[in-house]
Structure 1
Amino acid sequence: MFRGKILAMFFALIWAGSVLAAGPDLEKASQLMKEGKAGQAYALLLPYEFEMAGNVRYDYLLGIAALDSGNPAKATFVLERVLSLDPNHAGARLDMARAYYQLGNLERAKKEFTILLGMNPPALARTTIHRYLAAIASREKARQTGLKGYIEGVWGHDDNINNAASQSQIAVPAFGNLLFTLNPTSRKTGDGYFGVNAGMQYDHRFNPDLGVHAGASTRNRSYFTNSAFNSQILDESVALGFGPDDNEIRTGIAMEQYDMGSARFMNMDGVTVSWRHAMGPSDLIDTGAQFFAYRFPAASLAINGFNQETLSAGWVHVTGSGKGMTFASIFAGQQQATNGRADGNSTLAGIRTGAQYTLRQNLDFFASLGIMSNQYDKQNAAFLATRHDTLYDASMGLDWHLNEAWSLSPRIDVTRNQSDIVIYRFDMTDVSLVLHRDFR
């Protein structure tokens, strides 16, 4: 009986393989497309892509099925195969142009439509092409100047509002490991909070290869019982952009003012240079260099001032279905103490990765993870050790889109700092709910 089951499974596998080997039913797929059932046609064709890629008829059907079932990124990949084999395939070029239009890559869509006009298409196709070109011109004009903004309310609880160690006493080696009791404000303290955040972004293109980008945002947090730690952060930036949207170099300045309680805690000013390049409809690379000066106005904190230079590189990928997005970035740099910081200069490096995925039409899931190492070069006089910190942070949550303008986002953020010096070790968990409103 056991032998009989093995034989049955063997023949079933052979039968299944022969079905795949037979290839997809292209006539059925074509009929499904004519009936407006692109999703069914896509499901029928996709399992055979590995075996059938390079077959012009199959690739064209798969490409238009992907496009008409809401997968324009996938469509561009497949239709590129068609055009590489048959550059004069007018249908593939038209649908390629439509796919880029849906993806918002207006420059590439315009290029494909213009090539089509030079191929002397039939009157009906020519009318369609002109309609798309008029829509692209309208969208390009609207994109020459854009102003958008947001406002959001935040409610949450942070179990370590001062990023402090949890111990109430610490041993100090410079004093023979004598135990010192920490002031309550220097120990881990939790509290609930509410806040209001807002921001705006202005973009203007003088021509396709020159633009200006300016933005400002504010983040405000008020704690229920520990008002001394209330914070107000204001960020401003302005940059010139050189090149088209999909291959742009930006150079500009950025500033931040950070108030805690009723006093200024920190000022940051700096310059930035970045290069963003689209490597197709689904991938983007972003590299940059930054120089920032951090200064602490209070006399008791001024010793902590430093300058920081960093280099960074990142990559963003959108899945073929358009429902998912992943990103990864790396950075490295150094800090130069400007006023005798206790731990001296430092070198830093880190990575960050994350993803976002559409669970359903109005619900997205997101998550990210970051790690940063910071190695200092001066022995701390009090703790008789050279400081080395490793900071870990993780976030995840949901974006529930109530409509085109409003969204509600529950999220959790966890941070842990490991350090050779006990006073710098801390962990923090922040749970919040964000009500967000976009303005465009």
Structure 2
Amino acid sequence: MRLLFKACMAALIISASVHAEIVDPRISMLQLLDEKDFEQSFQLGETHFEEWAGDADFDYLYGIAARNLGQHQKAIFAFERVIMNRPQDIKARAALAIAYYQLDNYKASQREFERCLALNPDPELADQIQNYIELMEDKALAQGQKWYGGVAASLGYDTNVNSGLGDTQTELPFPGLGLLPVRFAIEEDAQWQVNAQLGYQHPLTKSSTLFTDIAVNNTEYQDFDQYQKTSADLVMGYQYKGDTSQYKLLGYVQPFWLGDEHYQNLAGVMFDMTWFTEDQSAWVWTSSITRTNNQVDDNLSLDAATTELIWRIPHGRSMHSLSLGVSAERVREFNELSQHNERDLVFVGYAWQSRIADWAGFGVSIDYQESDHKHDDLRFLLDEEPFFEPRHDKTLMLGLDFSWYFSSDWSWQTKVRVSQKDSNVVLYDYDKELVTTGFNYRF
């Protein structure tokens, strides 16, 4: 930019020196720059660098020549020396900002351009600065467009595939027969899982982004094909990030297959809001509404509303999370066969995740949930009276995770999940353990 150096250097003053034999290179460098001979100007500056580096006028000319030859780091150092000597030099700050811009360091470039504007540049330079700022915003948005995703595969063992009760016999009422003993054996089995995800995000501004992703999850068992689980998740949403808060609004659908049968479709809308505090902790509030359409039994179709508050506390390389939430589930069509599915839930949780070293990570989670079913289960009657009281469940879930990182993209993960479910209705009183291990690739 001729504006950045030509006018200011036309009246360059050469101070008298006791070392008259030292040739002043600045006039020759200025003339070469005016002729756009950046190579000769730079080489002249290199020749006299030891004697003249630190002189603000020399450093400015040297920086202009270096920048035009792609020597951006040398240009940045030169312009920084000018600013140390002349903090109010608008042209040097603008030249430094352009050097950062050409290195795609938009954050530093934006900072220097804003400092230039604070010094009240002339209208022509102000317009040029504004053009650069607009170009940076466009480039930042283009760079923010990206694809992301990953693939994971693991082997595991489930100690209670069918949520069985064990070897004990349970008495249940049968119409016309009275109480008969029934046993629900526990079935153990090996399993393997495959998960894949692909997503895309598209910035609208430097603060707001549209995103969409799809994930497919499949779990198969060695002996019990009827318990194979497959789901697909399609998500579309909008996210805004401010200095002290961010929020996200998204919609999602999830078809689910059990065995070879299309079991249900779930759809929902979720909103979450995050507030950041000065100590780097964060409060997260989430709220969602979901609708489940069961393809097998209309009595299992539900509408649900959930809200949760999470407190995230960083500590060194660790993150602690505390959560508290409530949910209400209501049947779509209330009748004698569906009413027992209506329930209210309260849940609390704690999670700790830590990066032990660059190559390893560890996590622990504890979740507790209580649910109260609102009505009698009229599927089980004895002498025309409900056999069970309205169901009340308590569920405790423990999790352990260990990750071994091969690189920034690849890791090996081992997970342990233990759940204990206590219920006043014996059919839902069982324990379950699951261990999985496998690789995870993220990009």
TM-score bracket, normalised by the shorter chain, equals 0.5 to 0.7
Q: Show the counterpart of 1:316.
A: 312
Question: Shift of the alpha carbon at 1:119?
Answer: 9.2
User: Aligned pair 1:336/2:326, yes or no?
Assistant: no
Superposition pairs for residues 145-224 of structure 1, below 5 Å? 145-167=145-167, 169-172=169-172, 178-182=179-183, 187-224=185-222
Equivalents in 1 of 2:141, 2:375: separation in Å? 56
Superposition pairs for residues 7-156 of structure 1, below 5 Å? 140-141=140-141, 144-156=144-156
Give structure 2 stretches of 5+ with no counterpart.
1-104, 120-132, 381-386
Q: Report the number of matched residues.
A: 314
Q: Note if contact 1:326-1:353 (Cα within 8 Å) is conserved in structure 2.
A: yes
Equivalents in 2 of 1:332, 1:291: separation in Å? 12
Superposition pairs for residues 274-353 of structure 1, below 5 Å? 274-280=272-278, 282-298=280-296, 301-319=297-315, 321=316, 323-339=317-333, 340=335, 341-353=338-350
Which secondary structure does the structure 2 equivalent of 1:293 belong to?
Answer: strand
Percent identity, please.
15
Question: Shift of the alpha carbon at 1:221?
Answer: 1.0
Equivalents in 2 of 1:303, 1:281: separation in Å? 49
**1:250–1:360 distance in 2 versus 1, CA, 3 Å:** closer
With normalisation by structure 1, the TM-score equals 0.65
Q: Note if contact 2:415-2:437 (Cα within 8 Å) is conserved in structure 1.
A: yes
Equivalents in 2 of 1:329, 1:109: separation in Å? 38
Which secondary structure does the structure 2 equivalent of 1:303 belong to?
Answer: helix
Q: Show the counterpart of 1:357.
A: 354
Question: Shift of the alpha carbon at 1:190?
Answer: 1.1
Question: Shift of the alpha carbon at 1:306?
Answer: 1.1
Equivalents in 2 of 1:158, 1:427: separation in Å? 11
**Deviation digits for residues 113-139 of structure 1, max 9, x if unmatched?**
78877899xxxxxxxxxxxx9xx9799
Bigger relative contact order, structure 1 or 2 (CA pairs below 8 A, ≥6 apart): 1
Question: Shift of the alpha carbon at 1:143?
Answer: 5.3
Q: Note if contact 2:141-2:203 (Cα within 8 Å) is conserved in structure 1.
A: no
1:237 to 235, 242, 267: 235
Q: Note if contact 1:171-1:177 (Cα within 8 Å) is conserved in structure 2.
A: no
**Deviation digits for residues 37-69 of structure 1, max 9, x if unmatched?**
xxxxxxxxxxxxxxxxxxxxxxxxxxxxxxxxx
Cα RMSD of the aligned pairs, angstroms, is 3.1
- Which of the pair has more CA radius of gyration? 2
Off by >4 Å, runs of 4+ in structure 1: 106-120, 136-143, 173-177
Q: 1:379 is aligned with what amino acid? A: D
2:393 to 389, 396, 409: 389
Q: 2:370 is aligned with what amino acid? A: S
**1:349–1:143 distance in 2 versus 1, CA, 3 Å:** farther
Give the helix-richer structure, 1 or 2: 1
**1:264–1:210 distance in 2 versus 1, CA, 3 Å:** same
Q: Note if contact 1:336-1:344 (Cα within 8 Å) is conserved in structure 2.
A: yes
**1:162–1:111 distance in 2 versus 1, CA, 3 Å:** farther
Question: Shift of the alpha carbon at 1:285?
Answer: 2.0
Which secondary structure does the structure 1 equivalent of 2:157 belong to?
Answer: strand
Q: 1:160 is aligned with what amino acid? A: N
Equivalents in 2 of 1:358, 1:139: separation in Å? 33
1:426 to 417, 430, 439: 430
Q: Note if contact 2:141-2:204 (Cα within 8 Å) is conserved in structure 1.
A: no
1:272 to 270, 273, 293: 270
Q: Show the counterpart of 1:379.
A: 376
**Deviation digits for residues 83-134 of structure 1, max 9, x if unmatched?**
xxxxxxxxxxxxxxxxxxxxxxx999999878877899xxxxxxxxxxxx9x
2:440 to 430, 436, 440: 436
